[in-house]
Structure 1
Amino acid sequence: MDTNINLKHAIEQIVKEKGIDRQVVMEAMEQAVLTAANKKYRNTRDLEAHYNPDSGEVELFEFVTVVEEVQDSYKEIDLEEAREIDPEVEVGDSLGERLDATGFTRIAAQTAKQVIIQKVREAERETIFNEYSDRQWEIITGMVRRFEKGELLVDLGRAEAALPTKEQMPREVYRPGDRIRAIITEIRMTTKGPQIILSRTHPSMLAKLFELEVPEIAEGIVEINAVVRDPGSRAKIAVSSNDSDVDPVGACVGMRGARVQNVVSELRGEKIDIIPWSEDIARFACNALSPAQVSKVFVDEDNRVLEIVVADDQLSLAIGKRGQNVSLAARLTGCRIDIKSESKAAEAELAQFASFDGTQGEEEPAADETAEGAEAVEGTEAVEAAEAVEAAEVGTNDAAAAPDAEEKQAE
């Protein structure tokens, strides 16, 4: 009786802990008893095992076939002997006899966990894989278990996830038992089961944190158009609004900066620039270089290059520490950005102008060529002067001939 109670308890515990269907557990238990029985009888008998939920035990049955002449005493029984058990039996029928399975049930109870794990491992892995594959790109909270070859192993409840070294934030330190939030980036099925990969450095981590903090983003009123990060240091996020009455930047910042501050706290002080997104690449680049003020923008759309001019006192701000600000802006816009100060731009223009003048001087004809040109001009002028004299003479002759004509007309 105690064994039956223990068996019932073992089944209930496995169902609860593993979250496996009760029928699967009972089938595995039956298989455990049957395996133990076949091992004892050296597979010489036709046995079946069935779990009885009422009694809470696995019942073992031996089946023999009714024959006229017995050739295998373990699996056959003659007709006369069979009719002593069941008077209506006929040749070819199968008779079942219940065996004492107490010993086998005890063995099954002891090995149930191992047998069930072997039997349902694939089903359990598939369940976990399907559950977490639907949660890809979702932020999840877990508990740090241990470090293993640089990876941080995180307990998610039903599964264990890995946070690789390259996906960990710089200067973050965790100890076993600490709670951690990360985004699920990948779920792989391996021979050891589902492998869940987490990240705290992926740009989507930042986007999802804002989605959790800003209701307008979750509702689709405010849209995140682009995100770039230098994890643990600085990030830029471009947002736009589908409602003209809603300021996307203000919605993300929140009252007195409460919303963005929550995100900054989660990312351990990572600075976040929230900028308005624009289809105009020049305007978008100016926004992306914030907080620096831009004076001029020259756009080469074919090569995706932007030449940006800023005031001299804004140059270091536009470039940022170790070029971080301009690097993030370039990644955000998808363009190469060249930044110049106004004084350098003016010097470049003067140099270009001087170069242009010098080029013109080089193109002036040589002295001999100039002389030949002058002679040619003089020759042309002489011809034109002669033609002018002839025209003048013709004009004079015509003027002199005019009175004679008038005299003839008078006559």
Structure 2
Amino acid sequence: MAITSANQLELLQIADAVAREKMIDPGLVVEAMEDSLARAAKSRYGADMDVQVSIDRKTGQATFTRVRTVTDEDMLENEKAEMTAKAAADTVRSQGGDVFVTKRKIPIYGEEGKKIDEKEVRAFYLQKPSEKDAKRMEGVDQDTPPQEGDVLVDVIPPVDMGRIAAQSAKQVILQKVREAERDRQYEEFKDRAGTIINGLVKREEYGNVIIDIGAGEAVLRRNEKIGREAYRPGDRIRVYIKDVRREQRGPQIFLSRTAPEFMKKLFEMEVPEIYDGVIEIKACARDPGSRAKIAVISYDSSIDPVGACVGMRGSRVQAVVNELQGEKIDIIPWNEDAPTFLVNALQPAEVTKVVLDDENERIEVVVPEEQLSLAIGRRGQNVRLASQLTGLDIDILTEEEESKRRQAEFEVRTKLFMDTLDLDEFFAQLLVSEGFTNLEEVAYVEIDELLVIDGVDEDTANELQARARDYLEAQNAKALEAARANGLQDDLAGFEGLSPQMLEALTKDGVTTLEEFATCADWELAGGWTVVDGERQKDDGLLEPFGVTLEEAQDMIMTARVMLGWVTPEEAMGQTDDAPETEEAGA
């Protein structure tokens, strides 16, 4: 099948028809045709030849050219597509005055054979170039002989394609068109991730629902479906675009109806104040198909955020509930104060007391006995959603359990003071009742804080502090002796900020020198949390029992590195400032 003048314009007509049908650029279809004709020509002239085809966008005329690149003699590998500068100069010289030097863009291909870029070079045409190529002659040096990087171009006769070559060309065109269609689909949807779209159910495959979204198909995985929902072909469905990925088989669009963001977008559609930014959904937690909690805040004091989201007679929230197949939604006010926010998040349960542990991101909630089941919820649903909403681990205790625990702590501290300070039980209980929890507080507190205790005069206070300091000094000496026995070196022993007990703990784990200490990670010293398979796991730190935080551990490690000359003080300051403050610091 030769390309004659009779079917030259037909090429452009076919390209235009295919482009309209696939909604892609007609130029991409023409480029696919050029590639297919070039491949057919290579099968005729030899695969080693660099054959390129150019189709005139106005007349449809296809020009077949052979391109040879001028390269260094030592780099010459393919004599049919490359030539040395001397051979190129001889070829040009043999043509006499018929050589036209213009500019030409040649493609650069990646490892997978896909065009990734192009570069402009001097092109020596051994026959008269086309009108389009001839226009590029202006400003191009016509006298300098071919140099490395230039190309020689000569026109070759068009190929007469047989049935096999024509079929191969057809496959190339289909492949290129398919790639262009995929690229168009990806470009269309890549910026729509995080939005809601309406689609039409086409079919179900292994529990996954394939949805027609107009310009292609998308996948609603079975773990992204609300449990009770069932779909039939032809059903209209509203979904959230969770992710758009460019993959080898084409763009993959993943949808969701269980994502918390889906609920946020639904409220944004139903509540104008959220769309306008007057009200913001600060947090959202869902048990898809069953129950959800959202926390809202209003930036206009005259607008009630909860009331605005509920709507007149519950019309706004009911529209969202209907879309989510009856999922119950608790709308609660956001509060910067974590304990107050948690009390709101645990509604409808009533909370007696909240104790927040900022360091470990845990919170203890005390509720009346009759409110315990309500606070926990069916299968732990209420407390689980409240935990997701606040980002804190929640321990729920009854008043009786909390009282027993406080009593146990009281007894432990009382016994500590009795054993270490040689006090009777009554006097030890007085210290605990006044808020003293350890010996350091007794030893180094201002003496006036001891004098407020009933029955304690200045002499008694001084005696208490003397006993506490003597005991601590004895413990420090014992710990330092144990650390020395474990191999403690002087450079680490003299490091400021490490107590004898800390040195003992470090040396037990094999950290005996300042250099070994400087190689530690902050989470190895202070501990942290690692998320594994969605579960938070605790990493114990060597100095965690002594209350060392991640920030303090970072400062100590950087100080040690500065002392060793590994980093400058400025570098240490920058690394400390940039350190991540995440619960995955121990990962």
* CA 1:131–1:46: 2 relative to 1, 3 Å: closer
Q: In the alignment, what sits opposite 1:22?
A: 26
- Tell me which amino acid in the other structure corresponds to 2:21: E
Which structure 2 residues correspond to residues 111-260 of structure 1 after superposition, within 5 A?
114-260=171-317
Q: Secondary structure at the match of 1:181?
A: strand
What's the CA shift for 1:156?
Answer: 2.1
Counterparts of 1:205 and 1:123, CA distance in 2: 31
What's the CA shift for 1:48?
Answer: 8.7
What's the CA shift for 1:312?
Answer: 3.8
Decide which structure has the larger Cα Rg and report it: 1
2:201·2:212 contact (CA, 8 Å) conserved in 1?
Answer: yes
Which structure 2 residues correspond to residues 22-171 of structure 1 after superposition, within 5 A?
22-32=26-36, 94=127, 114-171=171-228
Residue in structure 1 matching 2:339, options 273, 276, 282: 282
2:24·2:184 contact (CA, 8 Å) conserved in 1?
Answer: no
* CA 1:37–1:299: 2 relative to 1, 3 Å: closer
Q: Secondary structure at the match of 2:27?
A: helix
1:33·1:107 contact (CA, 8 Å) conserved in 2?
Answer: no
Q: Secondary structure at the match of 1:189?
A: strand
Q: Which runs of 5+ in 2 are unaligned?
A: 67-95, 100-125, 130-154, 428-587
* CA 1:313–1:364: 2 relative to 1, 3 Å: closer
Greater Cα shift, 223-232 or 45-54: 45-54
Counterparts of 2:50 and 2:256, CA distance in 1: 55
Counterparts of 2:225 and 2:65, CA distance in 1: 60
What's the CA shift for 1:285?
Answer: 0.8
- Tell me which amino acid in the other structure corresponds to 1:151: N
Which structure 2 residues correspond to residues 351-370 of structure 1 after superposition, within 5 A?
363=425
What's the CA shift for 1:34?
Answer: 6.2
Counterparts of 1:46 and 1:242, CA distance in 2: 66
- Tell me which amino acid in the other structure corresponds to 2:26: R
What's the CA shift for 1:196?
Answer: 1.8
Counterparts of 1:147 and 1:326, CA distance in 2: 35
Q: TM-score, normalised by structure 2?
A: 0.48
1:58·1:105 contact (CA, 8 Å) conserved in 2?
Answer: no
2:98·2:128 contact (CA, 8 Å) conserved in 1?
Answer: no
What's the CA shift for 1:323?
Answer: 1.4
Residue in structure 2 matching 1:292, options 340, 349, 363: 349
Counterparts of 2:232 and 2:9, CA distance in 1: 41
2:298·2:305 contact (CA, 8 Å) conserved in 1?
Answer: yes
Counterparts of 1:106 and 1:13, CA distance in 2: 23
Deviations 1:330-384 (A, max 9, x none): 2212223233344x2586389659968996998489xxxxxxxxxxxxxxxxxxx
Residue in structure 2 matching 1:334, options 388, 391, 396: 391
- Tell me which amino acid in the other structure corresponds to 2:278: I
Counterparts of 1:280 and 1:238, CA distance in 2: 13
What's the CA shift for 1:50?
Answer: 6.5
Counterparts of 2:266 and 2:165, CA distance in 1: 49
Residue in structure 1 matching 2:371, options 304, 309, 314: 314
- Tell me which amino acid in the other structure corresponds to 1:176: P
What's the CA shift for 1:230?
Answer: 1.0
Which structure 2 residues correspond to residues 384-399 of structure 1 after superposition, within 5 A?
none
Counterparts of 2:65 and 2:360, CA distance in 1: 83
Aligned residues: 336
Q: Secondary structure at the match of 1:232?
A: coil
Q: TM-score, normalised by structure 1?
A: 0.67
Q: Aligned Cα RMSD in Å?
A: 4.3
1:136·1:187 contact (CA, 8 Å) conserved in 2?
Answer: yes
* CA 1:280–1:40: 2 relative to 1, 3 Å: closer
1:3·1:105 contact (CA, 8 Å) conserved in 2?
Answer: no
Counterparts of 1:112 and 1:19, CA distance in 2: 21
Relative contact order, higher structure (CA 8 A, sep 6+): 1
